Amino acid sequence: MEHLTNRIWVLLEHRDGRLKPVSREAVTCAQALAGPLKMSVSLVLLGDHTIEGLTHQVDREYGLEVLAIRTESGAVCTPEIQCEVLRQSIAQEAPYLVLMGHSYQVIDFAPRLAAQLDRAFLSNCLGHEIRDGKLHFIRPVFGGKLHQEMTFLGEPPFIVSIQPGAYSNQILRTEDSPGVVWKDIPPLKQNPGRRVLEIVEEASKKVDLTQASVVVAGGRGLASREKFQLILDLAEVLGASVGASRPPVDGGWLPKEHQIGSSGQTVAPRLYIACGISGAIQHLVGITSSQCIVAINKDPNAPIFNVADYGIVGDVFKVVPLLIELARELRR
């Protein structure tokens, strides 16, 4: 790739004409990188002729250049076809960086794509730094107990996936859209190796805290399942989603999908209220992208206060009922 461009690609994952939420977070990451690196952002949509409507919708909403790559190769969601279509496009367009959300689909094809391009793939990243013009990405290791800072050896393009909830989904819309660039790739001749017979959605929808704007979470300090009802009451009056650290989940007070942290979900709400949570590192890695963190804990030395924007040192069983009453008064 001799003619490397100063562009950051964001691969937008979609299904049934709708973008996956993590794709918005990947766009936010790209915009945060574009300024310091003096690069521009292109949003990449891959699919057949049916992506036309979504392409124009993305163009209107985001105000960023959209590269629509069309191919009538059939089941474009198979890793083999995705890799070949993207490999051809990346080889021709030579972006500096390819960003995508860390999803099951990406896990299936991104390592293969990186191997075909002879490039490294940094997966499940939750932050970044730019030092001396060089990119450094941060990713969790050992179940989130440690953070590993990594950079790339060799030449671009670089390939990175972003952990859901690690970045805000508040995209900075530009004034004028550069428009849509259409790229057509002929149907692939080789056998794709496998084909999708059907896509089966889960029978029951799990709790998705990564998209919540307000989260109220409780920890070991709530003491029991019955007393954890306080968290549910506060969440209800605030119109918030309910989360928890690991002890309440291990104790059976809440289902596993409510767990936040290295072994649960990573969240980035506008407001995160931590009640009776001491702040073990395994929990903190899941909340650091929150815009505002409010912590309530009776221990003034609790680690949660080191990351909190506002802290209340007090008994959760006295403070939370006051917050509930105050919220109800404000809503009247």
Is pLDDT at 2 greater than 60 in this prediction?
no
Residue 198: strand, helix, or coil: coil
* Residues sharing a CB contact under 8 Å with residue 57, sequence separation 6 or more, in sequence order: none
> What distance in Å separates the CA atoms of residue 172 and residue 94, rounded to the nearest whole number?
25
Mean pLDDT, residues 201-229 taken together: 83
Reported as type and span, the H/E element at residue 236 is helix 229-238
Q: 214, 271 in Cβ contact below 8 A?
A: yes
Beta bridge partners of 271: 214
Q: Report pLDDT for 202.
A: 55
Is pLDDT at 146 greater than 80 in this prediction?
no
Q: Which two tokens stand for residue 204?
A: 């029951």
pLDDT tens digits along 160-212? 999 887 887 777 766 666 788 888 888 776 555 666 777 766 544 567 788 88
Q: Report pLDDT for 103.
A: 87
pTM above 0.75, yes or no: no
Q: What percent of the chain has pLDDT over 70?
A: 90
Is the CA virtual torsion 109, 115, 117, 120 positive or negative? Answer: positive
Position 21: which residue type?
P
Reported as type and span, the H/E element at residue 283 is helix 281-284
> What distance in Å separates the CA atoms of residue 318 and residue 248, rounded to the nearest whole number?
20
Return mean pLDDT, the chain: 86
pLDDT tens digits along 242-288? 999 999 999 999 999 999 987 888 888 999 999 999 999 889 888 98
Q: 207, 258 in Cβ contact below 8 A?
A: yes
Lowest mean per-residue pLDDT among 147-156, 190-199, 206-215, 309-318: 190-199
Q: Report pLDDT for 75.
A: 47
Higher-pLDDT residue of 147 and 36 is 36
- 272: how many CB neighbours lie within 10 A of its CB? 28
